[in-house]
Amino acid sequence: MAMVGTNPVKFKEEPVNVLYAKRAFTDQEASLYIGMSQSWLRHIRIKGASLNSLAGPRFIKVGRSVRYLREDLDVWLEHFQRCEHLAQHYNEQLSKLMVIQS
């Protein structure tokens, strides 16, 4: 159960095996799957990515509903660098900048 202000908000919870068997996810399911908030997904879908922000995953419209396909979420997640520690991330970012400048 999450808290919004002082009111508890109960999310519809499905068993994990049911969630991973689905192909098309709602905002809530997609946010759980990728570990980002629903509000971030909505914001990035409506506003798009700016120069300093992260681009969101692809989505589809089914009538008036928005759905995220599991394969699009997986592709989006694969774009991120896997690190064992934060210093590794910063060292690789610095290396990329040095290549661009030379």
- What would the 3-class secondary structure string for 26-37 be? CHHHHHHHHCCC
In this prediction, residue 6 has a pLDDT band, given cuts at 50, 70 and 90, of low
Q: What is the per-residue pLDDT for 12?
A: 59
Is the predicted pLDDT of residue 21 greater than 90, yes or no?
no
For the entire predicted model, the pTM comes to 0.63
Work out whether the CA dihedral 100, 73, 42, 28 comes out positive or negative. Answer: negative
Cα angle for residues 19, 25, 28 (degrees, 5° grid)? 90
**Position of tokens 């040095």?**
98
Q: What are 85-96's pLDDT values in tens digits? A: 677 666 766 776
